[in-house]
Amino acid sequence: MHYYGKSKDAPIAIPAAYRNHSQGYTSAPLIDHTSGSVHTGTSMNHLAPGGFIAPHAHSFEEGFYILDGEAIVTVNGNSYKLGHGDYGALKVGTPHAWRNAGASPVRWMQMAAPQPKAEGKERDVFFYKGGVAAPDFNRSGVAASEGKPLSAGIAESDLLGHFDVGEIPPLDQRQSAIAAAPGVFLKWMVDEKFGARHHRLLFIEYQPGVGIPLHDHTFEESYFILSGEVEAIMDNKRYLAQPGDVLWTSVGCVHSFTNIGKVPVRWLETFAPQPPAENVFRFMAEWEKKAAEIEG
Radius of gyration of the chain (CA): 20
Q: How many CB atoms lie under 10 A from the CB of residue 207?
A: 17
- Summarised one tens digit per residue, pLDDT across range 48-88 is 999 999 999 999 999 999 999 999 999 988 899 999 999 99
Residue 152 lies in a domain: no
Residue 150 lies in a domain: no
Residue 294's pLDDT band (boundaries 50, 70, 90)?
Answer: very high
Residue 199 lies in a domain: yes
3-state per-residue secondary structure call for the chain: CEEEEEHHHCCCECCHHHCCCEEEEEEEEEECHHHCCCCCEEEEEEEEEEEEEEEEEECCEEEEEEEECCEEEEECCEEEEECCCEEEEECCCCCEEEEECCCCCEEEEEEEECCCCCCCCCCCEEECCCCCCCCCCCCCCCCHHHCECCHHHEEHHHCEEECCHHHCCCHHHCCCCECCECCEEEEEEECCCCCCCCCEEEEEEECCCCEEEEEECCCEEEEEEEECCEEEEECCEEEEECCCEEEEECCCCCEEEEECCCCCEEEEEEEECCCCCCCCCEEHHHHHHHHHHHHC
Mean pLDDT across the stretch 42-48?
Answer: 98
Residue 149's pLDDT band (boundaries 50, 70, 90)?
Answer: confident
Instruction: Please give the pLDDT value at position 32.
Output: 97
Residue 147 lies in a domain: no
Residue 238 lies in a domain: yes
Per the model's pLDDT, the better-predicted residue between 156 and 65 turns out to be 65
The domain total for the chain is 2
CATH number at residue 256: 2.60.120.10
Residue 135 has pLDDT above 60, yes or no: no
Residue range of the domain that includes 101:
2-132
- Summarised one tens digit per residue, pLDDT across range 85-129 is 999 999 999 999 999 989 999 999 999 999 999 999 999 999 998
Task: Identify whether residues 119 and 179 lie together within a single domain.
Answer: no
Residue 142 has pLDDT above 50, yes or no: no
Residue 276 lies in a domain: yes
